[in-house]
Amino acid sequence: MLDLGLLLTLYPPPRRGAMNTADQTAIRVRGLRKSYKDLHVLRGVDLDVARGSIVALLGSNGAGKTTMVRILATLLKPDGGTASVNGYDVVAEPERVRESISLTGQFAAVDAILTGRENLVMIAKLRQVAEPRTVADALLERFGLADAAGRRVSTYSGGMRRRLDIAMSLIGDPAVIYLDEPTTGLDPEGRLEVWQVVQDLADGGTTVLLTTQYLDEAEKLADRIAILHEGAIITSGTLAELRELLPPAKVEYVERQPTLEEIFLSIVGGKATSGSEEERR
């Protein structure tokens, strides 16, 4: 069932001139803290996302990625620290933040009973864009869904659904989009489809905060990678900067750059795959 309250939160009607263009930092997080009872998930997170860039928030299952995204989407209140999006504080100005963003990923808002086109038109109407049908058709074309536009989403592949979900999040031209594990649960073909779509978004100048537990995904898509581990960003930078943390491995006669996986494992001490059951201090 569709939750209209959630939809309105995720897709509010935009306000003209809502963008605070003076600020070149799309997302700024300082000392962010969040606990669930005595589980201290975020323990002082600092993060900057420049306008027009793709930043991957990389962390194992249970690291707190969705918690971060929910705070940045104003769906969850932090316990301490500050976070601003598009120049607006998530606690003091949540409505302005919601007008600046869209969120997609782990909980897709796509309604399987409706067709792809109907889903897009519904969101376009919620966001009060002019000519919702024209907008929907342009997005269907752009995301390779034109042929499937009249089919119920229940008949779509995982990759098609995820592409539709991302298309929905672009309606109304949000300044910042959050993709929370956009390829988790997809087969390899679906992953490649979504990767292509995210790449296109970046080329179009949208700011993207992407969460992922896949190193190859971060490596492939992100301008910068921030590693969230045990409640904090333990390191961040471009892939090249992260590579400098490790000397190139000499394998026989061939000098080889370390992979992001090797860097990640070296930084987190080989605990990368221990998952959400990991004991927290």
Ligand X SMILES: Nc1ncnc2c1ncn2[C@@H]1O[C@H](COP(=O)(O)OP(=O)(O)O)[C@@H](O)[C@H]1O
Point out which residues bind Mg ion (CB under 5 A): 65-66
Instruction: Rule CB under 6 A: say whether 116 interacts with ligand X.
Output: no
- CB closer to Mg ion, 178 vs 195: 178
Instruction: Rule CB under 6 A: say whether 147 interacts with ligand X.
Output: no
- CB closer to ligand X, 85 vs 228: 228
Shortest distance, position 145 Cβ to ligand X, whole Å: 27
- CB closer to Mg ion, 39 vs 113: 39
Instruction: Rule CB under 6 A: say whether 61 interacts with ligand X.
Output: yes
- CB closer to ligand X, 11 vs 178: 178
Closest CA to 214 of 184, 180, 177: 184
Instruction: Rule CB under 6 A: say whether 271 interacts with ligand X.
Output: no
Contact present, 125 and 97 (Cβ < 8 Å)? no
Choosing from 64, 132, 231, 258, the residue that interacts with ligand X (CB under 6 A) is 64
Radius of gyration of the chain (CA): 19
- CB closer to ligand X, 28 vs 70: 70
Instruction: Rule CB under 6 A: say whether 62 interacts with ligand X.
Output: yes
Shortest distance, position 219 Cβ to Mg ion, whole Å: 19
| Window of 56-64, 83-91, 131-139, 254-262 that interacts with ligand X by CB under 6 A | 56-64
- x/- track of binding to ligand X for residues 27-46 (CB under 6 A): ---------x--x-x-----
Pairing between strand 54-58 and 25-36? unpaired
Choosing from 12, 26, 67, 123, the residue that interacts with ligand X (CB under 6 A) is 67
Contact present, 115 and 152 (Cβ < 8 Å)? yes
Instruction: Rule CB under 6 A: say whether 59 interacts with ligand X.
Output: yes
Shortest distance, position 94 Cβ to ligand X, whole Å: 19
Q: Which of Mg ion, ligand X, none does 63 bind, CB closer than 5 to 8 A by kind? A: ligand X
Instruction: Rule CB under 6 A: say whether 63 interacts with ligand X.
Output: yes
Three-state secondary structure along the chain? CCCHHHHHHHCCCCCCCCCCCCCCEEEEEEEEEEEECCEEEEEEEEEEEECCCEEEEECCCCCCHHHHHHHHCCCCCCCEEEEEECCEECCCCHHHHHHHEEEEECCCCCCCCCEHHHHHHHHHHHCCCCCHHHHHHHHHHHCCCCCCCCCEHHHCCHHHHHHHHHHHHCCCCCCEEEEECCCCCCCHHHHHHHHHHHHHHHHCCCEEEEEECCHHHHHHHCCEEEEEECCEEEEEECHHHHHCCCCCEEECCEEECCCHHHHHHHHHCCCCCCHHHCCCC
Choosing from 16, 276, 279, 281, the residue that interacts with ligand X (CB under 6 A) is 276
Instruction: Rule CB under 6 A: say whether 215 interacts with ligand X.
Output: no
Instruction: Rule CB under 6 A: say whether 107 interacts with ligand X.
Output: no
User: Which stretches of the chain bind ligand X, using CB under 6 A?
Assistant: 36, 39, 41, 59, 61-67, 276
